[in-house]
Amino acid sequence: MNRLQEKLKQYHVILGSQSPRRKQLLQGLDIEFTVQVKDTEESYPSEMQLHMVPEFIALNKFKAFIPQLTERDLVITADTIVLHNQTILHKPIDTDDAVRILQTLSGSSHTVITGVCYGTKQKYLTFSAQSQVHFAHLTQADIDYYVTTYMPMDKAGAYGVQEWIGYIGIQGIEGSYFNVMGLPVQMLYQKLLEYEE
């Protein structure tokens, strides 16, 4: 049994996300958990500093679980944004929007921020992680191929780092690669080890 398995054995761990990437990443920590999803509004105050948005939304996702939680439930929620030139690039609304977003990211750098909320109904905490992603120039053919062959519609910034576009387009990442995928698992591992109610 590893340290985190030992730490969490008293809890029923819930991942509050429908993202298959987050599920895959949390599985990588070798802990047992179930997936549950609550519909929550992903809005935020217009005056909020943009780097604070992911933690704010992750916290709201967590709070949606509180009424149903037992004493032994430990929930993990997360939200990821792509920040480019002080603008949040959301999930694309359609194919044309996905193409436009990727054209915007081509040949430039952007910041991926994932906010995480974790804990029980007695005590919950938040943190966030930032990664800088540097994209090479993408041709229109590259973008069209990716948008029609893969599924950018459910991804902030219209791309998945673990997919073809990441293989051919990303020149470098400063920070956690897994954070760009949607969950900064190394930081989460440490935070969960340190968690005390």
> Which amino acid type is present at position 166?
G
CA–CA dist 85, 164 (Å, integer): 24
Nearest-angstrom CA–CA distance, 131 and 147: 23
In sequence order, what DSSP letters do the residues of 105-155 get, joined into one string? HTTSEEEEEEEEEEE-SS-EEEEEEEEEEEEPPPPHHHHHHHHHHS-GGGS
Q: Which of 30, 39, 73, 79 is catalytic?
A: 79
- Which tokens belong to 76? 């993990």
Q: Does the annotation mark 79 as catalytic?
A: yes
Please tell me whether residue 81 adopts helix, strand or coil conformation: strand
- What the block records as the tokens of 3 is 């340290």
Q: Which residues are catalytic?
A: 79
